[in-house]
Amino acid sequence: MKTIVCSFSRLTKQPLFWLALLLTLVAISILVNLGMWQLDRASHKHQLQVELENNQQKPLQSLGSIEFVGNLNGTVALANLTPIAGYYLLLDNQTYNGEVGYLALQLMRSSDSKYFLFEMGFSKALAARTDLPVIEWLSRQYVGEVRLYRRSANPLSDQLMIEETQPRRIQNLNLEQLASYWQLPLESYVLQPLVANWRYPQPWQPIPMGAEKHTGYAVQWFAMALALAVIGVIWLRRAMISSTKESL
């Protein structure tokens, strides 16, 4: 025991020991915090999934009778919508069945004079980026069922980044910035028509990453932290053995 104490004492007098110890503790702390963050995200996604399932089970109601409070993702409503000519968007960098393209959206006004984005659906990108797909925009009134959804914000990039193309190309669906750009009181939910054999494919992914994936990532971060801690203990043990041999 005395030899071990002496060896440890010799190690603590070396600046490299403290540097290595500090870096190891910082790295473990970062990995543990990343794991905790993923668990928090998993809990949040689980709550969103429960709310989504509850919304989908609600009885059908008119769009005008809905109070836009709380999470309404997945809520189905009966809508009477009038297209507003010239207000068209292509949301860039979308994928569907392995293809890259755009999500086409147009502005609609409901029977109670509220403005909504209406999702036309997915359109494959053309070979040249300067060429945009030709969309068959709605020109007549739409009366039927719609599903409400709000896309999750991208934590790395959430700016609208609108381009002066025809139709307008955007990088993120930032409804607040879009409302400011159009100078219209745009509602915070997008409407997706629920019609059999709709003219365009309609991706439906209300929760991009489920709770299970976040939990899996958390396990990976915790496993890396544990592995690093084990490596640190092994390194410390070997350093003490080496220090003991030097003192003999």
User: Quick check: helix, strand or coil at residue 115?
Assistant: strand
Same domain for 20 and 85: no
**By the 8 A CB rule, do 208 and 152 touch?**
yes
99 lies in some domain = yes
pLDDT string in tens for the chain (248-residue length) = 544 445 556 656 666 667 777 888 899 999 999 999 888 888 877 877 777 777 778 888 999 999 888 888 889 999 999 999 999 999 999 999 989 999 999 999 999 999 999 999 999 999 899 999 999 999 999 999 999 998 876 666 789 999 999 999 999 999 999 999 999 999 999 999 999 889 999 987 766 666 778 888 889 999 999 998 888 888 777 666 665 555 55
Q: Give the total number of structural domains in the chain.
A: 2
Same domain for 109 and 188: yes
Entry pTM:
0.72
Same domain for 178 and 79: yes
Q: Which domain holds residue 225?
A: 2-44+211-247
Same domain for 180 and 229: no
Closest Cα partner for 28 from 227, 233, 220?
Answer: 227
Helix ranges (H only) for 102-185 are: 175-182
Same domain for 106 and 187: yes
Same domain for 85 and 185: yes
Same domain for 174 and 79: yes
205 lies in some domain = no
49 lies in some domain = no
178 lies in some domain = yes
Same domain for 186 and 222: no
- What CA–CA distance (Å, rounded) separates 1 from 217? 41
Closest Cα partner for 151 from 129, 178, 123?
Answer: 178
200 lies in some domain = no
Same domain for 179 and 126: yes
203 lies in some domain = no
